[in-house]
């Protein structure tokens, strides 16, 4: 899903967070604009998408293929579910159960 986000410091265009499960949370930002809020402070607004990638990836890999990853954010936002994603979701849930965590 795409959202308009506001920050008080300039955000990165790409942030990735590798998870213990072997997945990666990806946050992408476009159209980062500096402006002033009502109290005169500097703020940054941007178009943002966030999604979970079922595999490991680093920030540089995502940055090199930014447009393709941005399109992935669009697919995630529409709720499209591939068989690969569904299997990865089930594997992650099963691993949590086997580790004694609740799903």
Q: What is the pLDDT of residues 45-81, one digit of tens each?
A: 999 999 999 999 999 999 999 999 999 887 765 455 5
Residue 80, in any domain of the structure: yes
* Domain around 35: 2-98
Residue 69, in any domain of the structure: yes
Instruction: Give the separation between CA 45 and CA 37, rounded to whole angstroms.
Output: 11
The whole model's pTM is what? 0.72
Q: Where are the beta strands (DSSP E) in the chain?
A: 2-7, 14-18, 24-36, 42-53
Higher pLDDT, 17 or 89: 17
- Number of structural domains in the chain: 1
């Amino acid at each position: 899903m795409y959202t308009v986000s506001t920050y008080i410091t300039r955000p990165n265009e790409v942030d990735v967070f590798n998870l213990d499960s072997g997945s990666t949370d990806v946050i992408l930002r476009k159209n980062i604009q500096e402006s002033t809020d009502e109290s005169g402070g500097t703020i940054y607004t941007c178009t943002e998408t966030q999604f979970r990638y079922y595999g490991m990836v680093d920030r540089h890999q995502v940055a090199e293929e930014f447009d393709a990853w941005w399109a992935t954010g669009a697919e995630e936002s529409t709720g499209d579910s591939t068989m690969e994603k569904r299997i990865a979701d089930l594997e992650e849930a099963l691993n949590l159960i086997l580790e004694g965590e609740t799903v």
